[in-house]
């Protein structure tokens, strides 16, 4: 397996492992949290899809860091380096996301980006703690409610994103990017 991982990483030289890793207790289990960029920069919380892990963002995280953001992702319960759990529910995943968000120590609302299952999760997170969310960026996700579907606006990706699109496991995953009109701070 290591040879396969090394082969994949060699084919994506722009991918970079995180600058920092840490663990967050989410109520009896711990999730692994990874970060790229300055710890004092504006955080952006990144949520992976259902069959992924935080390493999915090894290309996007460094790009966000280079743009002056603190990119933060976590391995959801039972994924990557996070603990296995007795409970796997949507509600548990949303609670975990809220606790990871709280661990950032930001007094300001934080932009969140989710891919696939992670996109639906950050959409739900914005519904339950809207005062903590600065923007919702949803990549190829089913939206969890009609209100969210109505308020989201389609966004056409600029050509400058073409280079890092190749880093996504599913080619063209960014084709369905939608974003709430609240801009990023930075």
The conformation of residue 164, written as its DSSP 8-state character, comes to: H
Determine the structural domain holding residue 51 and report its residue range.
2-179
- What's the Rg (C-alpha) of the chain? 16
The CB density around residue 110, as the number of other CB atoms within 10 Å, is: 19
pLDDT at 82: 94
**Spacing of C-alpha 147 from chain mean position:** 22
Beta-strand runs (E) in the chain? 20-25, 30-36, 42-47, 69-74, 110-115, 133-139, 153-154, 178-179
CATH number of the domain bearing residue 120: 3.40.50.1820
Tokens 């949520």 sit on residue:
47
Neighbour-count burial of 174, counting CB atoms closer than 10 A to its CB (0-12 exposed, 13-18 middle, 19+ buried): middle
The residues with which 31 forms a beta bridge, in sequence order, are 24
pLDDT digits (tens, 9 = 90+) for 27-54: 999 999 999 999 999 999 999 998 899 9
pLDDT at 142: 64
- Residue 113 maps to a domain: yes
Enter the tokens of residue 70. 């603190």
- Residue 9 maps to a domain: yes
- Residue 102 maps to a domain: yes
- Residue 53 maps to a domain: yes
When pLDDT is averaged across residues 81-108 and rounded to a whole number, the result is 94
The number of distinct structural domains making up the chain is: 1
Q: How confident is the model at residue 13 (pLDDT cuts 50, 70, 90)?
A: confident
Tokens 């930001």 sit on residue:
106
Instruction: Look at 165 and 106; give whichever has higher pLDDT.
Output: 106
Q: What is the rounded CA–CA span in Å between residue 35 and residue 38? A: 9
- Residue 185 maps to a domain: no
Instruction: Look at 74 and 171; give whichever has higher pLDDT.
Output: 74
Instruction: Look at 76 and 167; give whichever has higher pLDDT.
Output: 76
- Residue 186 maps to a domain: no
- Residue 184 maps to a domain: no
């Amino acid at each position: 397996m290591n040879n396969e991982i090394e082969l994949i990483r060699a084919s994506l030289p722009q991918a970079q492992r995180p600058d920092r890793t840490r663990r967050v207790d989410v109520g009896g289990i711990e999730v692994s949290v990874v970060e790229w960029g300055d710890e004092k920069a504006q955080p952006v919380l990144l949520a992976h899809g259902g069959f992924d892990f935080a390493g999915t963002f090894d290309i996007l995280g460094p790009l966000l860091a280079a743009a002056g953001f603190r990119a933060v992702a976590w391995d959801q319960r039972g994924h990557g380096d996070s603990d296995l759990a007795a409970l796997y529910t949507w509600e548990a995943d949303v609670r975990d996301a809220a606790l990871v968000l709280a661990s950032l120590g930001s007094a300001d609302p934080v932009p969140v980006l989710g891919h696939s299952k992670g996109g639906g999760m950050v959409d739900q997170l914005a519904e339950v703690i809207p005062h903590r969310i600065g923007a919702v960026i949803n990549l190829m996700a089913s939206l969890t409610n009609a209100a969210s579907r109505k308020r989201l606006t389609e966004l056409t990706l600029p050509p400058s994103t073409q280079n890092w699109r190749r880093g996504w496991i599913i080619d063209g995953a960014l084709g369905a990017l939608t974003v709430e009109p609240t801009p990023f701070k930075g």
